[in-house]
Every structure is written in structure tokens, then in C-alpha cells.
Amino acid sequence: MRRRTFGTLAASAALTAAAPRLAASQPRRGGDAVVAIVQPPPSLDAQITTAQAARDITLHIYETLYARDENARPVPELATGVTVSGDGKTYVFPIRDGVKFHNGKPLDSADVVASLERYRKIGGSAALLAAVDTVRASGTHEVTITLKSVQSTFLDNLSSPRAPIAIYPASEAAKPANQIEFIGTGPFRFVEYKPDSHVKIARYDGYSPNPGATGRDGFAGKKEALLDTVTFRFMTEAGPRNAALEAGEVHLVESVDGPVAKRMGANKSYTVYKALPFGFQVIKFNHAFGVTGDVNFRLAVQSALDMEEIMSLSFPDIYQMDGAWVYPGSPFHTSQGTERYNKTDAAAAKALLAKSAYKGEELTFITDPLRSDVDTATMVQEQLKAIGVTVKISVADWPTVSKIGFTPTGWHFWTHGFGIEPYEGPASVMAPWVGGASQQKADAEVDRLYAALNAELDETKRKAIFAQFQARFYEQAIAMKAGNYGNFQVATARLKGFTPYRIPRMWGVWLDQA
């Protein structure tokens, strides 16, 4: 075996956190914090759901072998490191000794093996482990994973928070989906779940922190639980969320819009946090249906759109103009192809349109009711009208829209956010387009580049492959990126030590005395 370093495998995605008032008090134990989140989780069985609302909660309860640091790089969590064979196909993970589950059972390799095997069968993103051939306990605190073929992104996959590969007690890992007891090794333990109201968690006093960690670090690092309890209240309407904060019923609101953030930021009773980038807005073409399958038409649209106008309307006060398909700061961030980004050239657009198969027919733009998505669709509709393209907007709930959007007929355009994909790295950004899954018609070059990225262990060469992928997207207008958007969060000024991230992390956080 030889040891290899994986410090820069994942795309860097640090969030810009802005808080106008710094914590002046000293950390203290105690207190019961309430967080208002925008949706109820579909499940607290962390392995089986990719929902953001579930991650908000479950990543406080469960831990993984590897996690992501503040810049989204994979780092050891329940593992102490990894040794990789010379052929790149065998990974040996020493497991931390002395870690206990919330039921008091010591963590050992049997728990890890059972959890990984369960995920391979029913995990919400089971494809993350598709390259695995075997998983076995090679010692009481050692697990060996053998891959079918080299996969450069394996540690990225293992540490993905999308549907976390959470480690459960072996007895729970033997159970079907949604039938487990919610037992993990994290800094908080499960207390109660009322589906129409809230989830409550409490500090786990038997928690074993990572001895190699020195402070808060993404989903990894030092996870010091200071609060006695945290209650996540499900509040789908913005008005009641904001009112609850102002009434002192909640201490943190997961998401507020720009005007509310501005108003509350002027009041010293609150602290406004700014997380940017948090996602980016994607405008998709259906390559299998009508004129959007014509590259000249797609290039005409790409040339016509004023992306800054779209972003300034859809995400006022919290957007960033950037044409790269990963976040700024990522080692894979590149300008390749972006000379075509935000071109806003009506003459070029009309010339390309004249060469296309478009004959004046009405095209369908599908979207869910989220204000930013509807605003994006509306701006595209107006801007394309200026070059002679007629677009009809069709709004439906997310389940309906997503069902239509993954079929080859019934739509020409579709917009929504990409958040977790660019955070996880280039492979996650590329994967939705492989085999034509998102554009409904495969692009052989995209498929080739994705396979090449997964097989290439040299990071410099992987960067070049991703740059080719991004250039291909612009050259063929496979889909369009409008820009990066962020997220405002507001807390009572009593809440100290908070830093925004992909979830509202409540470790390292405390409440000042009222």
C-alpha cells in the first residue's frame, strides 16, 4: 500500500459570511435554540433522502467516514485517514477508537460495513458507491473497500452530504428504509419528531470529537455542542417565519429575502448573515423536443440573454456574475468557454436564429412556483420576445415540474437552482448531463469527458478535462448558467458563534443570557 493525499479532490465552495456584529460574549453551555426552516424533512433516515430540509437536521445527529471541510474538500471524520493501493482500487480505512453511538454502543468496523452495504442497496444517491466491488471488516477498527475500477472521485463520493452515507449501528443498518431508530455518533442526539411541527435534538454528552480537529470546519472539524437542545420548526411561509423571530419565538431563520434582511439588519437586536455563493441558476434546453434540439437555436438564445438582468431581478441584493460551472475558489474554477457567457448580442442572436429551424412556433418554459424561478422564466420570455421568439410559461408544483422535466416531450426550457452539485465538485456538476439525463438527448463528448474524469487520478489532468467539459457546454449551448445566488439568514443577536454554511450548523453556537 502507499498513502496518497486527497486534500484537493473536491471543488472548493467556501461561503462568504458577513455578520456586521461580532460575538462579544464567551461560549457558554445551556439554552434551548429554535431554528425556523422552510420545509419539513421527508425523513430522518439520512441515507435515503437528498432533501435539504433533512440535511439541516440529520448532519447534527449522524456522521460519516469522510466529511467535507469548509472548502468542500474530503477530510477524515469517523475514519482517521486512508491508505490507497498502488493500482488505485483498494482503500483501507482505520476507524476511530472510543467513539460511541447515542445508545452507548461503541463504534466498530461491523457498523461501518453494515451501513455502507445498506447504502449500496437503498441509499438516496446509491450511485455514489456504484464503483464499489466489496466492503469488508479487515480488523475490529479497520474497513477495506475494493473498487471494480479506478475512480478518482471516490473520496468525494464517500464524503458527499447530498444523501449522507451516515454510519448507523449495525442493528439499525439491517432495517429497511424509514424503519430505523435515529441513532448516530454526532454531537446531538434525536429527541422527538412531530411531522407537522418540529424536530427536537439534544446535546449528546457522550460525544467523541475528532481529535485531529481544531475548530469548526465545514461538515467536519470540532463539533462542540454547547446548547442543551435545538428545535427545528417547519415554517413554509416567509411571513410567519419572520414574525416568529421578531416575537422571540425562534432564534434563527434559515432564509429571508433581501428587503427583510435590510430591515432587520438596521436593528441591533438581530444579526444578518450572507452566504454567497449558495447555488447557481440553471436554464435548461430539451434537446429531444422540437427546435431546442437545434444547436443554432440554442446558441441564438445563449447570445441573446442578459444574464445580469435576470439575476438582478431573480436574486436582488445577493447574486454574483460568474460563468464557471463550479464556485469561485474551487481548484476546478476555469474561464474556459466563458467568453460566450452573458454576451447579450442581439444581432448575433438574430443571425443564429435565422440559421435555425425556428419558424415562429410557441415554446414552453416550465417552472415551479418559487419566485426566483418564475422571475427567471419571465425575464427569459421577455428577452427572447425581443429577437422574435415566443415563449409560454407553464407553472406547476415541484413534483409535477420535475416529472415533466425528465421526459423528452412537453417542454423546451426549464429553470431551477444547482446548489449541492457545484459544492461537491466537477463530477457532481457533470453527472446530471451524462446519458442525456437532464437535456433528454445524450451528448457523446460530455459522456466521454465524464468517464475520463472519473478514471484520471492526476488532478492537473482532471482540471483540464473539466475545462473541456465547460467549453463544450458553451460551444453547444447544452444548458445555460445565469449566475451565482446567495442566501440571507437572520438570527437574534443573542445567538453567538454562528457561521452560515450549507446547513444551519448549531455546534459551536451558544445563547447569551436574555
Residues 366-401 have pLDDT tens digits of 999 988 999 999 999 999 999 999 999 999 998 899
Residue 26 gets which letter from DSSP? Answer: P
Considering the chain, what percentage of its residues have pLDDT values greater than 90? Answer: 87
* CA gap 163, 309 in Å, rounded: 34
Task: Please provide the average confidence, as pLDDT, over all residues in the chain.
Answer: 93
Is the pLDDT at 1 greater than 80, yes or no? no
Residues 306-325 have pLDDT tens digits of 999 999 999 988 999 999 99
- The CATH code of the domain at 32-255+493-511 is 3.40.190.10
- Give residue 236's pLDDT: 87
Q: Quick check: helix, strand or coil at residue 392?
A: strand
Cα–Cα nearest to 509, from 35, 101, 75, 36:
35
Burial class of 4 by CB neighbour count within 10 A (0 to 12, 13 to 18, 19+): middle
Q: Quick check: helix, strand or coil at residue 98?
A: coil
Global confidence as pTM: 0.86
Is the pLDDT at 419 greater than 70, yes or no? yes
Instruction: CATH number for 277-486: choose from 3.40.50.300, 3.40.50.1000, 3.10.105.10, 3.30.230.70.
Output: 3.10.105.10
Q: Count Cβ neighbours within 10 Å for each residue of 415-428 and write b for 16 or more, e otherwise.
A: bbbbbbbbbbbbbb
Helix axes 295-304, 371-385, angle to 10 degrees: 100
Beta strands 132-139 and 142-147, pairing class: antiparallel
What is the domain partition of the chain in residue ranges?
32-255+493-511, 277-486
Beta bridge partners, 217, equal 220
* CA gap 216, 284 in Å, rounded: 37
Residues 278-305 have pLDDT tens digits of 999 999 999 999 999 999 999 999 999 9
CB atoms inside a 10 Å sphere around CB 247: 9
What is the arithmetic mean of pLDDT over 174-183?
A: 97
Helix axes 307-314, 371-385, angle to 10 degrees: 150
8 A C-beta contact, residue 333 and residue 327:
yes
* CA gap 479, 499 in Å, rounded: 33
Q: Quick check: helix, strand or coil at residue 163?
A: coil
Cα–Cα nearest to 13, from 417, 418, 318, 420:
420
Cα–Cα nearest to 386, from 313, 480, 301:
301
169 upstream amide cis, omega within 30 of 0 = no
Beta bridge partners, 283, equal 415, 480
Residue 310's H or E segment, with its range, is helix 307-314
Helix axes 459-476, 444-455, angle to 10 degrees: 170
Residues 82-92 have pLDDT tens digits of 999 999 999 99
8 A C-beta contact, residue 147 and residue 132:
yes
What is the arithmetic mean of pLDDT over 228-234?
A: 97
Terminal Cα distance for the chain, rounded: 56
Q: Which residues contact 498 (CB under 8 A, 6 or more apart)?
A: 19, 252, 271, 273, 491, 504, 505, 506, 509
What is the arithmetic mean of pLDDT over 227-234?
A: 98
CA angle centred on 465, ends 461 and 470, rounded to 5°: 145
Q: Quick check: helix, strand or coil at residue 351?
A: helix
Fold identical between 32-255+493-511 and 277-486? no
* CA gap 367, 413 in Å, rounded: 9
- Give residue 22's pLDDT: 46
Torsion over CA of 239, 241, 242 and 243, rounded to 10 degrees? 80
- Give residue 78's pLDDT: 98
* CA gap 412, 102 in Å, rounded: 50
Give the confidence band of 24 by pLDDT, cuts at 50, 70, 90.
low
Residue 406 gets which letter from DSSP? Answer: T
Is the pLDDT at 492 greater than 80, yes or no? yes
Is the pLDDT at 11 greater than 60, yes or no? no
* CA gap 297, 357 in Å, rounded: 7
Burial class of 1 by CB neighbour count within 10 A (0 to 12, 13 to 18, 19+): exposed
- Give residue 192's pLDDT: 97
Beta bridge partners, 199, equal 193, 232
8 A C-beta contact, residue 511 and residue 271:
no
* CA gap 388, 391 in Å, rounded: 10
Cell triple for 392 = 409560454
